[in-house]
């Protein structure tokens, strides 16, 4: 037997939940051709995996790499973790479909100079022609639909707007989008009612494998209601449900960051009862989460949605009107849902302007003190100066809740981060360490050090489970005939090195990563290869 690549002497964890076993893996023509004792085989490339674990490449169920791979096509922050597929289009934001006002109002800090497109096909063609090291599995965002048809005001969609959004959603799914996503605590996604979102979901419900994914209408005191609404949308819309980045954001367990604060009372078991009961009633619902006691959010998430209606121009006009600004300030000061933000836990991660680069790494409380204004006013000043494009790392979660959600059988793993490079265009920003460390953190901290779950369980949550949700029949398992998207890691050394203060640190202990059989990481070094592609729903 002869192969393009032979991974020899490794211990395989297949991604389907089965127990580990020792075997060699023979790869040719992008796929796994043989698994077993292949000591007599010849190969152009031999990877000695003695003492290492061979698994499917990790599928990041919740990422925001829709546009970052144009700037950083190697996707080093994710490739070095063992991630081979990024699921994009989350939280209602996708770079398609585009309408006349989309480029100015889609948010996420995206720049659209990389190419000219209006739909998924055009975006995918631009991305693939540029070349990418890892795969993307796209979803279509509800906010993109709203902005494309001009339905980004704080009001119900008209009958005509809903029909146009349904048509565009169906078109995106026909072109390969895996699901429809919402961001119901964000603008403009949050302007839609439960019934409107369900109506939109009906447009994709008849497509095999299509589902609904939601950044839910979260907020103080809404942990249970957010899940209930997702369940209601799934039932009314006739679609499976993926609940994004499940967490309890409340008073933070600071984990050594600044001064400690008491843990909140967790409601994780109550939340899981809702998932379990919905599944017993026949709804296919799962969730994803990530292994950190902090999130990252736009500072605009402290601002009421009504103030952001009509896109950037409408938002800025309200901030510049004295009477309206005073009303906005009152609501920001009080906190959305009646819980005032803890401004010393909002640490600026990225800004758009050069003038405010010096604010990165500083809390809104510190910035307010320097400017001699209250923190709520400082937040509005920053929003105005950056035209809504400024984000912060927010320390607001309990380690106990993080562990509970990570270990639950219905949960898979999603980073909520982007594939970027330590030396690329995002290198000056202080992003959340989840961009660089999510998967090795699970394997090192929560499996090896804390025994929160078995290694087989963790790998299943990162591979076979998301592949099943996406109906990816040829990825997510180490199995003959499947595409050779593979990660090879050292179970004794794999760990995250990215920190909140110094995030641009590549993970350790993942010496080999293959995409379609081609190494993108070899002996711990990125090869520069770009075998990745945009995956499509329903393709073989």
Residue 96 has phi, psi (to 5 degrees) of -160, 155
pLDDT (average), residues 294-309: 95
| Burial classification of residue 374, based on how many CB atoms lie within 10 Å of its CB (0-12 exposed, 13-18 middle, 19 or more buried) | middle
**DSSP strands (E only) in 235-283:** 241-243
Per-residue pLDDT at 256 exceeds 70:
no
pLDDT per position as a tens digit, 32-58: 999 999 999 999 999 999 999 999 999
Share of residues in the chain with pLDDT > 90 (%): 89
**Nearest Cα residue to 7 out of 434, 310, 39:** 39
pLDDT per position as a tens digit, 207-219: 999 999 999 997 7
d(CA 444, CA 77): 17
Angle at 135 between CA 73 and CA 52, to 5 degrees: 100
Q: Report the CATH number at residue 509.
A: 2.30.40.10
Question: What pLDDT is recorded for position 106?
Answer: 64
SS (H, E, C) 85-146: EEECCCCCCCCCCCCCCHHHHCCCCCCCCCCCCCCHHHHHHHHHHHCCCCEEECCEEHHHHH
CB 527 within 8 A of CB 521: yes
Residue 278, domain member (yes or no): no
Residue 44, domain member (yes or no): yes
End residue of a domain, out of 342, 374, 395: 395
Residue 307, domain member (yes or no): yes
Residue 330, domain member (yes or no): yes
Q: How confident is the model at residue 222 (pLDDT cuts 50, 70, 90)?
A: confident
Instruction: Please give the tally of structural domains in the chain.
Output: 2
Residue 129 has phi, psi (to 5 degrees) of -70, -30
pLDDT (average), residues 444-465: 98
**Nearest Cα residue to 181 out of 223, 254, 244, 231:** 244
End residue of a domain, out of 395, 421, 456: 395
Element housing 7 (H / E): strand 2-12
pLDDT per position as a tens digit, 90-124: 999 999 999 876 665 566 565 656 568 999 999 99
User: Half-sphere exposure (CA, 13 Å, Cβ side) for 102?
Assistant: 21
Boundaries of domain holding 49? 2-56+479-526
Beta partners for 505? none
d(CA 391, CA 91): 15
Please give the structure tokens belonging to residue 518. Answer: 């081609």
CB 29 within 8 A of CB 4: yes
pLDDT per position as a tens digit, 262-295: 444 458 899 999 999 999 999 999 999 999 999 9
Q: How confident is the model at residue 252 (pLDDT cuts 50, 70, 90)?
A: very low
Residue 144, domain member (yes or no): no
Average pLDDT of the chain, as a whole number: 93
Maximal C-alpha separation, the chain: 79
Residues 6+ apart with CB under 8 A from 81: 58, 436, 437, 438, 439, 440, 507, 510
Of 98 and 466, the one with more pLDDT: 466
Q: How confident is the model at residue 253 (pLDDT cuts 50, 70, 90)?
A: very low
DSSP state for residue 223 in the 8-state scheme: H
| Burial classification of residue 194, based on how many CB atoms lie within 10 Å of its CB (0-12 exposed, 13-18 middle, 19 or more buried) | middle
Question: What pLDDT is recorded for position 402?
Answer: 95
**Nearest Cα residue to 143 out of 99, 203, 205:** 99
Residue 14, domain member (yes or no): yes
pLDDT per position as a tens digit, 389-432: 999 999 989 999 999 999 999 999 999 999 999 999 999 999 99
d(CA 354, CA 364): 18
d(CA 135, CA 198): 30
Residue 12, domain member (yes or no): yes
Per-residue pLDDT at 142 exceeds 50:
yes
pLDDT (average), residues 182-203: 97
Q: How confident is the model at residue 261 (pLDDT cuts 50, 70, 90)?
A: very low
Question: What pLDDT is recorded for position 340?
Answer: 87
**Nearest Cα residue to 145 out of 193, 182, 174:** 182
End residue of a domain, out of 395, 428, 443: 395
pLDDT per position as a tens digit, 57-89: 999 999 999 999 999 999 999 999 999 999 999
d(CA 494, CA 440): 6
Q: Is the peptide bond before 452 cis (omega within 30 degrees of 0)?
A: no
Residue 467, domain member (yes or no): no
pLDDT (average), residues 235-247: 97
């Amino acid at each position: 037997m002869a192969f393009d690549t032979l991974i020899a002497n490794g211990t395989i964890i297949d991604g389907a939940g089965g127990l580990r076993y020792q075997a060699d893996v023979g790869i040719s023509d992008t796929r796994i051709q043989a698994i077993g004792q292949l000591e007599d085989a010849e190969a152009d490339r031999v990877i000695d995996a003695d003492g290492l674990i061979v698994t499917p490449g990790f599928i990041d169920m919740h990422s925001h790499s829709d546009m970052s791979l144009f700037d950083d096509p190697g996707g080093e922050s994710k490739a070095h973790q063992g991630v081979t597929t990024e699921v994009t289009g989350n939280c209602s934001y996708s770079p398609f479909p585009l309408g006349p006002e989309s480029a100015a109002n889609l948010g996420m800090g995206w720049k659209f100079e990389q190419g000219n497109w209006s739909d998924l096909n055009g975006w995918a063609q631009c991305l693939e022609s540029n070349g990418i090291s890892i795969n993307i599995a796209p979803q279509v965002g509800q906010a993109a639909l709203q902005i494309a048809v001009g339905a980004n005001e704080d009001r119900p969609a008209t009958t005509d707007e809903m029909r146009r959004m349904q048509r565009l959603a169906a078109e995106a799914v026909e072109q390969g989008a895996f699901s429809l996503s919402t961001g119901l605590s964000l603008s403009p996604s949050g302007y839609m009612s439960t019934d409107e979102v369900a109506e939109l979901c009906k447009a994709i419900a008849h497509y095999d494998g299509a589902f609904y994914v939601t950044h839910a209408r979260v907020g103080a005191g809404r942990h249970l209601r957010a899940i209930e609404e997702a369940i209601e949308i799934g039932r009314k819309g006739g679609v499976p449900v993926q609940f994004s980045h499940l967490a309890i954001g409340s008073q933070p367990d600071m984990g050594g960051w600044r001064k400690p604060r008491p843990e909140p009372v967790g409601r994780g078991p109550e939340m899981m009862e809702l998932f379990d009961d919905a599944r017993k009633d026949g709804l296919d619902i799962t969730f994803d989460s990530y292994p950190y006691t902090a999130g990252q959010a736009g500072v605009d998430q402290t601002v009421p949605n009504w103030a952001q209606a009509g896109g950037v121009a409408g938002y800025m006009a309200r901030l510049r009107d004295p009477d309206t600004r005073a009303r906005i300030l009152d609501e920001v000061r009080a906190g959305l849902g009646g819980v005032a933000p803890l401004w010393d836990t909002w640490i600026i991660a990225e800004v758009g302007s050069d003038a405010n680069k010096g604010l990165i790494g500083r809390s809104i409380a510190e910035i307010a003190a320097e400017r001699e204004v209250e923190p709520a006013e400082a937040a509005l000043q920053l929003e105005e100066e950056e035209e809504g494009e400024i984000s912060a790392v927010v320390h607001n979660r309990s380690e106990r809740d993080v562990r509970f959600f990570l270990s639950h059988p219905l949960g898979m793993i999603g980073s909520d981060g982007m594939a970027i490079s330590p030396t690329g265009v995002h290198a000056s920003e202080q992003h959340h360490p989840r961009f660089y460390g999510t998967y090795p953190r699970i394997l090192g901290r929560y499996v090896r050090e804390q025994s929160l779950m078995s290694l087989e369980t963790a790998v299943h949550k990162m591979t076979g489970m998301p592949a099943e949700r996406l109906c990816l029949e040829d990825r997510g398992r180490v199995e003959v005939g499947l595409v050779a998207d593979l990660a090879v890691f050292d179970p004794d050394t794999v760990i995250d090195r990215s920190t909140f203060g110094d995030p641009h640190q590549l993970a350790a202990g993942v010496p080999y990563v293959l995409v379609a059989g081609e190494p993108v990481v070899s002996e711990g070094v990125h090869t520069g290869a770009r075998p990745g592609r945009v995956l499509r729903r329903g393709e073989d």
